[in-house]
Amino acid sequence: MGNLRYLGSGLIAACLCSSALAAPALRADDTAASGASNPSGVKPLPAESRPNIVYILLDDAGFSDLGSFGSEVNTPNLDRLAAQGLRYNNFHTRAICSPSRAALLTGRNSHSVGMGNLTNVVTDAPGKRGEISYDSTTVAEVLQSAGYATFAIGKWHLAPLSGSHSPAQKSQWPLQRGFDQYYGFLGGMTDQFHPDLTQDNTAIDPPGRSDYHLTEDLVDRGIAYIKRAQALDGKRPFFLYFATGAAHAPHQAPREYIEKYIPVYAKGWDAIRQQRFERQKKLGVVPAAAVLPPRNPDVKAWRELGSDEQKVAVRLQAAYAGFIEHTDAQIGRLLSYLEESGLRENTLIVVASDNGASPEAKSREPTARL
Cis peptide before 288 (omega within 30 of 0): no
**φ, ψ for residue 186, nearest 5 deg:** -85, -25
β-strand pairing of 202-204 with 238-243:
unpaired
What is the amino acid identity at position 98?
S
Alpha carbons 239 and 68: distance in angstroms, whole number: 26
Q: Quick count: other Cβ atoms within 10 Å of Cβ 207?
A: 12
Q: Identify the CA nearest to 156 among candidates 206, 201, 93, 124.
A: 201
Determine how many CB atoms are found less than 10 A away from the CB of residue 232.
9
> In what helix (H) or strand (E) does residue 3 lie, and over which residues does it extend?
strand 3-7
Sorted by sequence, the CB contacts under 8 Å of residue 72 that are 6+ apart come out as 264, 272, 275, 276, 321
The secondary structure of residue 235, as a DSSP letter, is: T
* 6 phi and psi angles, rounded to 5 deg: -130, 125
Q: For residue 123, how many C-alpha atoms fall within 13 Å in the half-sphere facing its CB?
A: 11
Which is nearest to 11 in space by CA: 280, 247, 181? 247
CB neighbourhood size of 58 (10 A): 28
Alpha helices (H) in 107-202, listed in sequence order: 139-145
List, by residue number, the catalytic residues.
97, 157
Cβ-contact 85, 79 below 8 angstroms: no
**Which string of DSSP letters, residue by residue, matches 236-289?**
S-EEEEEE--TTSSS----HHHHHTTHHHHTT-HHHHHHHHHHHHHHHTSS-TT
Strand segments, DSSP code E, in 144-224 are: 149-155, 181-185, 197-199, 202-204
